[in-house]
Amino acid sequence: MKRVPGIEMVGSIGFVALISSVALIQAGAELPRGERPQVLELFTRAPTVANLRAYETDLEEASVVNQTLRSWIQYAQFVVLGDAGEKALVGRDGWVFYKPALQYLTERPPLKTSDAGRAQPLEAILAFRDQLAAQGIHLLAVPVPNKESVYPEMLTRRADQQEVIVCRQTRQLLEELRASGVEVVDLFETFRRAKQQRGSDDSDALYLVQDTHWSPAGLAVAARAVAEHISERAWIRPGALQYQQKPVRLERIGDLLEMARVPQIERHMGPERILCMQVIRRDTGTPYQDAPDAEILILGDSFLRVFQRDEPQAAGFIAQLAHQLGQPLTSIVNDGGASTLVRQELYRRGELLANKKLVIWEFVERDLRFGTEGWQIVPLPPQ
């Protein structure tokens, strides 16, 4: 082959220009923001293996080129392959599911182990029940089914004949709680009956299509079930406060799409249109608010937060339960922290137990295995 003069030089210059362009583009994005170009960090750190790996990680996370290319590649994977990223799984008819919840549903549970300060869910629940009972307070446990347990047919056609799935670990806990005398609301059975009464219309589904959480319809069904259980036990006096509901329409990108952090996917899917029922005090016309001196304290995770503390507010499970009971509640809510963090906060805020006759403990099913900080034995605050 005839050698072309200067071709090596042109190729070398082009290669250097190509790899340098990434740093120049990055610096061009950082300087207008008043930031020091990240490439200069190479000259401020000792050239150790640890520093170079840390620099590589920081550069990958902050790189404008990487973020732009990655988002378009992820979008192409979503459109062509139905790949929604590390945490989400695309099901049927636009439904999206949470991979850790599917992992909880399908994988064999780990062997039970416990050490000082850490326990299995049953041990932690029984200890909490006994601690409350010593102060004359009842406990009501409310495990919330994973979306994947309630709508397995939207994951795969092979589950078309399944109404609601109760996996072995969850079923065992429910049986053990009942055998131990713990009051439990079985939302799996509640949702199974509710699904039978509903059609296949997504607008009437018990869970959001793009989100890990229940829909306004689902949380309302759950609130009625919990309120009926409380009324049957007569733990508290019937409330006299009257509430009414105001319909509020909103559009919301589901958290499962937000987890992917790909704007193109969010635009492609579009927001989910949702009808919420905001709870309003009939006498003042103001949205529902907690009351620190209420007779009921509710602890839970983001299933209590959704529509309650975020848009439109006062339309979530807490407000709907207050509407059913005719009285306000006191609440401690921690996203992902219902297994232990809410009880740790209760220990720090012992004044919230004043005047309490009932504690409702809500936790999502998957946290039986994946709850933040596990299921620790946490003491109640001193009286």
> H/E element holding 351?
none
Measured between alpha carbons, how far is 25 from 9 in angstroms, rounded to an integer? 24
73-96 pLDDT, tens per residue?
666 666 665 666 788 899 999 999
CA angle 285, 286, 292 (to 5 degrees): 135
Given this model, what pLDDT does residue 41 score?
Answer: 58
DSSP H helical ranges for the chain:
7-30, 49-62, 64-81, 99-106, 121-134, 147-150, 168-179, 187-197, 216-233, 255-260, 263-269, 302-305, 317-325, 341-348, 367-370
Q: Please name every residue paired with 244 in a beta bridge, in sequence order, or none if there are none.
A: 280
Residue with tokens 């998957």: 366
Whole-number Å distance between alpha carbons of 41 and 51 = 10
Going through 264-376 in order, the beta strands assigned E by DSSP cover 272-281, 296-300, 330-333, 358-364, 375-376
CA–CA gap between residue 345 and residue 163 (Å, rounded): 37
The domain spans of the chain are 19-62, 88-376
Q: What is the mean pLDDT of residues 86-114?
A: 84
- What is the pLDDT at residue 18? 44
117 confidence band (pLDDT: 50, 70, 90): very low
Mean residue pLDDT of the chain comes to 85
**Is the sign of the CA dihedral 162, 168, 170, 176 positive or negative?**
positive
Determine what percent of the chain is predicted with pLDDT higher than 90: 63
Residue burial 145-178, b: 16+ Cβ < 10 Å; e: rest: bbbbbbbbbbbeeebeeeebbbbebbeebbeebe
Q: Identify which has the larger pLDDT, 141 or 32.
A: 141
- Lowest-confidence pick of 45-49, 253-257, 352-356, 378-382: 45-49
> In this model, does residue 69 exceed pLDDT 50?
yes
> Among 245, 151, 152, 166, which residue's Cα sits nearest to residue 198?
151
Q: Count the neighbouring beta carbons within 10 Å of the beta carbon of residue 282.
A: 9
Question: Residue 357 and residue 134: Cα distance in Å, rounded?
Answer: 12
How many DSSP H helices and E strands does the chain contain? 15, 11
Q: Which of 233, 229, 266 is nearest to 251 (CA)?
A: 266
Q: What is the pLDDT of residue 331?
A: 98
pLDDT single digits (tens) 193-223: 999 887 666 678 999 999 999 999 999 999 9
Average pLDDT over residues 53-67: 55
Report the SS3 class of residue 284. coil
User: What six digits make up the tokens of 161?
Assistant: 């004949």
- Going from the C-alpha of 170 to that of each of 106, 161, 273, 329, the distances in angstroms are 12, 20, 32, 28
Whole-number pLDDT of residue 158: 76
Residue 72, pLDDT score: 62
pTM for the predicted model, two decimal places: 0.81
> Which phi and psi (to 5°) does residue 174 adopt?
-60, -45
pLDDT digits (tens, 9 = 90+) for 320-351: 999 999 999 999 999 999 999 999 999 999 99
**Amino acid symbol at 322:** A
